[in-house]
Amino acid sequence: MPITPKPTDLLCLIDIQNDFLPGGALAVPGGDEILVSAHMLAMQFDNVVLTQDWHPIDHKSFAAEHEGREPFEVIEVDYGQQVLWPVHCVQGTPGAEIALGPSVLDKAQAIFRKGFRPGIDSYSAFLENDGTTPTGLAGFMRERGLTRAVFAGLALDYCVGFSALDARKLGFEAAVDLGSCRGIADASITERMAEMEAAGVELISNLS
**175-204: which residues touch ligand VGL (CB under 6 A)?**
none
Could you tell which of ligand VGL, Zn ion, none binds residue 177, using a CB distance below 5 to 8 A set by kind? none
> Choosing from 19, 32, 107, 159, which is the catalytic residue?
159
Among 112, 151, 158, 172, binds ligand VGL (CB under 6 A): 158
CB of 14 to Zn ion, least distance (A): 11
Q: Is 15 a catalytic residue?
A: yes
Q: Is 59 helix (H, G, I), strand (E, B) or coil?
A: coil
Give the type of residue at 12.
C
Q: Would residue 89 show up in a list of annotated catalytic residues for this protein?
A: no
Choosing among ligand VGL, Zn ion, none, which partner's interface includes residue 126 (Cβ < 5 to 8 Å by kind)?
A: none
C-alpha 164/C-alpha 140 separation (Å) is 16
User: DSSP string covering 127-139, please?
Assistant: B-TTS--B-SHHH
Examine residue 159 and tell whether it contacts ligand VGL (CB under 6 A).
Answer: yes
Query: Which string of x and - marks every residue 107-146 that binds Zn ion (by CB under 5 A)?
Result: --------x-------------------------------
Strand partners, 171: none
114 is known as an active-site residue: yes
Angle at Cα 96 formed by Cα 90 and Cα 101, nearest 5°?
170
Q: What are the CA-CA distances from residue 1 to residues 8, 34, 139, 208 (Å)?
A: 19, 19, 29, 12
Distance CA 76, CA 90 (A): 23
Q: Which parts of 59-118 interact with ligand VGL (CB under 6 A)? A: 85
What's the CA gap between 100 and 119, in Å, rounded? 29
Which residue in the set 32, 53, 128, 173 belongs to the binding site for ligand VGL (CB under 6 A)? 53
Interface ranges with ligand VGL (CB under 6 A):
15, 53, 85, 123, 154-155, 158-159
| Active-site amino acid positions | 15, 114, 159
